[in-house]
Amino acid sequence: MKRVTVRVPATTANLGPGFDAFGCALSLHTDVTFEETDSGLEITGCDEAFTGPDNLAYTSYCAVLASLSEEVRGVKIHIDAQIPVCRGLGSSAALLVAGAIGANVLRGGKLSTQGLLNITNAMEGHPDNLAPAFYGGLTASMVDNGLPVTVSFPLHPDWQFLALVPDFDLPTTVAREALPTTYPRADAVYNISHGAMVLKALELGNEKLLRNAMQDRIHQPYRKGMIADYEKIEALIRTTGAAFCLSGAGPTLLCITRDPMLKDKLAEKLDRITTANWQLLPLHVEFQGARVLRCE
């Protein structure tokens, strides 16, 4: 076997209060093909800026080979990405996951999904996007003794996700630098209690509980100033009854609702209050995690 294509879902991390812990896979995908060659690295299908050895699909590919004590030979990598880059929908995690699975499959599939999650989590530093990208669905993760532990949670079938994706990006490094290094105890209690309620509300399909629970004091208050029109858009969404949060580190904003008309209700009003262009992307939960599409 010399060539493998891996499909990885988009992910939304945090879901409000679950900073660096909660994540959910969504119905957008990035496909990455790895083909071993005699020498060198060739990356196609992405911006020139991402075609070097620091490409995340390649770095995780190399990390998995290193953990298997296997030699890195030449490789051609082709990226076919639906997931928008640097928008808070897990584009980086998707590349890390694809590279890890690609290398593992090409060299005989010796590592388990947990093993691949361990390796990629050491690279990313938090498992909230990686876990649902590997496993699909809604997950919560903790890091214990340096290793990620993930559990999956049920979701009510009527939820609809609507991502508001702007035409500007926000690198995660910048969005993380904006955060304090310590927090008051009251903020920690606020997030722990709200986080527990988010998971139950998602299971029950309780939109009112979710709307109240999906609030946060750890990251969103420090990031909203970096996102044009955040407060105006949040106020508009709150008039619809949908639950609202920043998707990951942003700048995408996420609505979770049971109202199939939410997109129509927001579309026209959004144009009137915003300065940037926002694409409204209806999505659903992707229950299937990363998978091998083709092996040749």
Q: Which residues bind ligand HSE (CB under 6 A)?
A: 13-14, 19-20, 126, 128-129, 172, 175-176, 219, 248-249
Which tokens is 242 given? Answer: 């949908």
Cα 127 off chain centre by: 10
* CB-based contacts of 183, cutoff 8 Å, min separation 6: 217, 218
What φ, ψ does residue 182 adopt, rounded to 5°? -135, 160
Give the nearer residue to ligand HSE in terms of CB position, either 22 or 34.
22
Give the nearer residue to ligand HSE in terms of CB position, either 33 or 215.
215
Which tokens is 157 given? Answer: 């079938």
Distance separating alpha carbons of residues 266 and 122, to the nearest angstrom: 39
**Closest distance to ligand HSE from the beta carbon of 47 (Å):** 20
Give the nearer residue to ligand HSE in terms of CB position, either 23 or 137.
23
**Closest distance to ligand HSE from the beta carbon of 6 (Å):** 20
DSSP letter (8 states) at residue 145: T
**Closest distance to ligand HSE from the beta carbon of 21 (Å):** 8
Give the nearer residue to ligand HSE in terms of CB position, either 207 or 286.
286
The closest of 259, 245, 15 to 128, measured between CA atoms, is 15
**Closest distance to ligand HSE from the beta carbon of 93 (Å):** 7
Query: Is the Cβ–Cβ distance between 32 and 22 less than 8 Å?
Result: no
Give the nearer residue to ligand HSE in terms of CB position, either 125 or 154.
125
**Closest distance to ligand HSE from the beta carbon of 296 (Å):** 33
- H-run or E-run covering 10: strand 3-13
How far apart, in Å, do the first and last CA atoms of the chain sit? Answer: 5
**Closest distance to ligand HSE from the beta carbon of 170 (Å):** 10
Cα 36 off chain centre by: 28
Cα 97 off chain centre by: 11
Distance separating alpha carbons of residues 180 and 195, to the nearest angstrom: 19
Give the nearer residue to ligand HSE in terms of CB position, either 93 or 283.
93
What φ, ψ does residue 135 adopt, rounded to 5°? -100, -20
Give the nearer residue to ligand HSE in terms of CB position, either 176 or 258.
176
**Closest distance to ligand HSE from the beta carbon of 60 (Å):** 15
